[in-house]
Structure 1
Amino acid sequence: MRSTDKRTFLDEARRAQIVACAIEVIAEKGYANASLAHIAARASTSKGVILYHFAGKDELIEQVVAEVFKVATAELVPKLQAETTARGHLRTYIEARVGFLAKPIWTTCER
């Protein structure tokens, strides 16, 4: 695992690609079946490359969760800010969360 300070642009791009591929594999196969081998195959790389960029599956999954929250929040916040009532906030929050879960936002990981 490399320190954040030492990661190059290419390292960051590869990490982002692996995270996107992990999201796709988890969405298709479920967490229990989302092995590093499946993720590596989706990313057209090897488990060794994944382990170069992440300390293990736990660290990769932490990054997956962070990415999903980041995207969901970026989509939700502007919608909530546009609402002026408590009822509007609640309706918008529920609709945005359900909508986010219903649509495939990671339909392809760039390989």
Structure 2
Amino acid sequence: MPITVRVDAERDLFRAIDDATRRTILDELIDRDGQTLFEICGRLAVKHNLTSSRQAISQHLAVLEKAGLVRTRRQGRYKFHHIDTSPLRVIVERWPIDREAPDP
């Protein structure tokens, strides 16, 4: 993978998880994967008192999708959002934890 592509992917990933609302959306998709925009907005309002507009949540989902953390699937007129945590491996691979190191 060319370095510029890797840097862009890492930048998108860190940008995506830098926002509390986006992290809450990911938490909701972990709790119940495969939700529509309407369902995500409802869960955010009820469980987290986040009353962002559907357009704002849609923009957050677009950032998460660009980072590869959310995948979408269309079924008829509905668009379902699914979490994909595989891009987070970039973080683990960049800063691996040495399990053999003694406790401080």
What is the TM-score when the length of structure 2 is the normalising length? 0.41
Identify the structure with the greater strand proportion: 2
Higher relative contact order (CA 8 A, sep 6+): 1
Identify the structure with the greater helix proportion: 1
